[in-house]
């Protein structure tokens, strides 16, 4: 897509951008030829850049028939690369902790006091081990991409409820 700059008082007023549909009460403005567009102050845009990662500066050169943007760029410095890597790693660990916290929260319903009291010792141990494994997750791994989440217990025995003897009434 061809881009244009709108020039006013020998400076870039707007752009670079695609042409507007309507400009200065002219509809289908984007369909006009370059010579007519130039008469309205819209010059074709061209960018000259070394295409490196970091933009240092940018200047516009306004000619009679086009605008050239000269973009000065450079490679990233080692310190910038390390900062980006550290930031990415921190974000990955934050996602691990978020998932861990969600799994812990989801398991809360299994260890509330009324359910916990009715659970047999084996099931209590299973849930305790699962929740401990979740809490230990970030410390157990050195790389967030290697984290393996434990599987939630899927089989919990039905609590044993002692039947109360039925009262019999004598008539």
pLDDT of residue 108: 87
Residue 149 in contact with residue 137, Cβ under 8 Å?
yes
Distances from the Cα of 143 to the Cα of 89, 93, 96, 102, 149, angstroms: 8, 8, 10, 20, 13
Q: What is the pLDDT along the chain (171 residues), one digit of tens a residue?
A: 899 999 999 999 999 999 999 998 899 999 999 999 999 999 999 999 999 999 999 999 999 999 999 999 999 999 999 999 999 999 999 999 999 999 999 888 888 888 888 889 999 999 999 999 999 988 888 999 999 999 998 755 555 445 555 565 565
pLDDT of residue 116: 85
pLDDT of residue 156: 55
């Amino acid at each position: 897509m061809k881009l244009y700059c709108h020039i006013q008082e020998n400076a870039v007023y707007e752009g670079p951008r695609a042409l507007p549909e309507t400009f200065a009460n002219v509809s289908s403005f984007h369909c006009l030829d370059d010579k007519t567009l130039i008469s309205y102050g819209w010059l074709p845009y061209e960018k000259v850049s070394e295409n490196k990662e970091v933009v240092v500066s940018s200047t516009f050169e306004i000619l009679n028939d086009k605008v050239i943007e000269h973009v000065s760029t450079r490679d990233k410095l080692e310190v910038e690369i390390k900062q980006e890597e550290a930031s990415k790693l921190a974000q990955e660990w934050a996602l691990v902790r978020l998932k861990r916290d969600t799994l812990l929260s989801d398991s809360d319903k299994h260890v509330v006091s009324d359910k916990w009291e009715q659970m047999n010792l084996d099931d209590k141990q299973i849930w305790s081990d699962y929740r401990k494994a979740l809490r230990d997750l970030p410390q157990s791994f050195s790389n967030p991409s290697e984290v393996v989440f434990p599987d939630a217990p899927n089989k919990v025995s039905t609590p044993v409820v002692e039947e109360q003897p039925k009262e019999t009434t004598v008539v």
